[in-house]
Structure formats: structure tokens, C-alpha cells
Amino acid sequence: MQRLIEDGGVVIEGNPATNTEGTPVRGAWLQAIDDELIGLVENTGETLNPEDNGQIAKGIQSGKLISSVAGGTADALTGTFTPIIETLINNMVLCVRAAGANTTTAVTFTPNPGVIAPVGVYKGANVVLAMGDIAGAGHGLKFRWDATLTKWELLNPATGISIAAPNFKNKLPNGAFRINQRKYISGTALAPGVPLTGVGYGHDGWRAGAGGCTYTFAQSMGPTQINITAGTLISVAEDSTVDGTAMVLSWGGSAQGRVGVNGAAPSGAYAASPITLTATPGQTVSVEFNTGTLGKVDLRNGLTPSADYEWPPLWMVLAVCQRYLPAFNTPSGQVGSVNWVSSTAFQANFSFPVTARAVPSTISVSSIGHFVANTPGGSNNVCTGVFAYWIAGLNSFSVTGTVAGGGGTLGTGGFLYAGNGSAQILFFGCEL
């Protein structure tokens, strides 16, 4: 295409009153514009009609400039376009009507055989095509050129794009020991675990057996393997997660395990991985391990252990664990809201990150002095005394508290903040 002014200057409008000459219109430029516009119409298969000034719009709407019937084979497609495509432009989209279904995953495409080399086709985030992604004859395919990958992306595969997402086949909430909201310290002796009370728990979802437990570990963002040096360790699959009868328990490490079904405590002889069991849907399943190394504990439906440990994002595992142990581990920032009932006393409400399994009954605080209450005057007063239980539900827990020095005003609001890097609040009464 040509410019009216070949050197790229600005078009000047003539003015006879000031004797200003306008930019001359060159014949070559007029011919180029004429050829471009006529070509746009004729390349869509239309015949010029002097009485129709909408032919360019109709030609664009027809899609004929970017459409072709596929040639080649079902797995090595070609296209023939008018005008001929000589150069590929990033994000260029071309449409091809398929003649048959692909029978391999190594599909190629070229819009100009013999000139543009055929290259591979992918879908989604550089995912290999599946057989049948080109459904068959008549499937209208949309290819987008990806100049970075130097491949064609099939925008409308028949089988869609499968996104690897966790399906939570593992019935145990924290089988890889990834979550440790209590900040349990490696090597600390645990008293026998007591459900609902918070006593005897280490990592989320794990409590000591009847004889207590001691275990060591080096915490990782990935899978954490522990070493049980004394006693036993128990985890429980909640009744609402047990939906099958035939189940299998598997794990990594030298520790041996045993199970308890239908709400019963684990019993019987310990055995090496894997262990098959028969459960009743809607009843808890408990697993217990003796001394030795332990990691990637998996309890699922079926009789065959999984070859690959299920690996949900860390935030998902944390959310599941907070169903059983609502907690705030906040080095700084707001943790709750405050309603002042006197100059020194307040009611504080904590909204849980997720809905709890049961209504919590008690609260554990790292130290009352780790928290400050915001007063109407804008000051932050350090809390004193204790946070006393006031009212609780599945989604929140409220306490009463006090500050030294006053500053509160009856009926006004404020916020409760963590004022120390070790600030922690745990709510007990939901753990199994």
C-alpha cells in the first residue's frame, strides 16, 4: 500500500485565499487505493456492484479471507487462502473446515504448502492435542499463530482443555504434613491426644496415640517426612469424606500402620504399606502409625494405591485444615473487630477463614500481650487479662477482653490487631 506523500509528510489542505497549495494527489496513489479496495471485495468472491457501497463490510463479515477447506491429510492439514498467505503474523487467526478426525497427537498445519513449512498444533497452554480433538469431517477449526512457540494453537479442540486440578481422592486432610498451624516444634513430646480439646496434637490433623508421641521433622513447603521416635500418631478421615466401602491406605517410610473403621479406634497388628480395608460410607476411618519414618500418607477409595501422591495447592490444604482448626497466625495486621463496652473493656469478634466442622468451645492465645485493641481516639492499647469466651458459631468466635489505660468509648467500634510476630490464636473443639 502506498502513502499519498511518499516521504511520510503531512497532507496539506490548499487555501486559495492565502495562496497555499494543497498536497497534489498522485495517480499512482489513487490506483493503489482502488486496487486495494477492489481486491478486498473480489477476493471474497463478490462481483463489483456500483450500486452497493457496503461490499467491503460484507466481504469482511463473510470470513472468506481467512477461511479454507482443509487439504492434505487429517493429521497434516493444509489450507489454500485468497489472497495467498506469504508471511505469518503473530496472533493471526485462520479457519479451516476439516475433512476428517485426527488419528494421532502430532498434527501439523500450513496455510501455504510448499512456501510456509508445516508446524505442530497445540491447545491451551502448549498442551499436546488428543486424538479426536479434530472431531471429523465438517469440524470448523480455528488456528491462531503463536510466534513465540512457532506453533499453531487450535482454539476450539473437540475435547476441550483439561486443567490438572486436585480431586481430593485422599480422605486425610494433611497426609504430607504440609500444614503446621500450631507451630509444633520438632522433637517435642506430645501427651496422649484428646479429640476436640486440642491436647496432644502436632501437625494439623495428627494427634498422639494412647501412649503419647514424639516425632522429629524438617518442615518443607513440599512433602515433609517425619520420624516417629516414640509412641504412635493418629489421623482421622471425617465421616463426611468416607463415601466408599473398599479403601486402601498407603504411605512412604519405615513406620507401620493400622486402621480403625466405622468410628472405632485403630486396633490390631501393625503392618507395612499398603493396607486394604472395608469401610461404611458416612463413618470415620482412623489410621495410626508406630515408630519409624512416615510421609505422603494416602487413604482413598479402591484397592490399588495411587502411583502419584495427590498434590493440591498449599492454600487448598490449609483451607481444609482450618475446617478442623480455625487459627490466626498473624505477625501483624487486623485479626478481628472490636465493640467497646466501657473505657477498658471490649467484645471482639473473629471471622473464621472457612466454616468450621463444629462450633469451637475454647480459645488458645499465644500471649494476651501480643494483641492490641484500637480505640476511637486512634490509639492502640495492649490487651491485658484474658480473652474470655462470649459466643461462638461455625463461622465466628467472640470473646471479651480488656486493655490498660482506657480510651474506649461505650458503643463505638474498632479493630483488634496482632502486635507481635509470635501472635497466634487457635480455636479448639473441631478436631477429630
pLDDT at 167: 62
Report which DSSP code applies to 209.
E
Domains of the chain, by residue range, sit at 16-62, 67-154, 207-323, 326-428
Cell 499519498 belongs to 4
Average pLDDT estimate for 120-131: 86
pLDDT at 170: 93
pLDDT at 403: 92
Pairing of strands 76-78, 226-237: unpaired
CATH class of 326-428: mainly beta
Q: What is the CA radius of gyration of the chain?
A: 35
What digits encode the pLDDT tens for the residues 306-327?
877 888 888 899 999 999 999 9
CA distance 206 to 184: 11
Cβ 295 vs Cβ 252: under 8 Å? yes
Is this structure's pTM higher than 0.95? no
Question: Which residue type does 114 have?
Answer: G
Residue 402 has pLDDT above 60, yes or no: yes
pLDDT at 241: 92
pLDDT at 32: 77
Residue 125 has pLDDT above 80, yes or no: no
Q: How confident is the model at residue 331 (pLDDT cuts 50, 70, 90)?
A: confident
> Does the domain at residues 207-323 carry the CATH identifier 3.30.70?
no
pLDDT at 8: 66
Higher pLDDT, 217 or 126: 217
Alpha-helical regions (H) of 168-267: none
What digits encode the pLDDT tens for the residues 46-90?
788 888 888 777 777 767 788 999 999 999 999 999 889 999 999
Q: What is the average pLDDT value for the chain, to the nearest integer? A: 89
CA distance 322 to 60: 56
pLDDT at 166: 53
Average pLDDT estimate for 394-412: 89
What percentage of the chain has pLDDT greater than the value 90? Answer: 62
Residue 162 has pLDDT above 60, yes or no: no
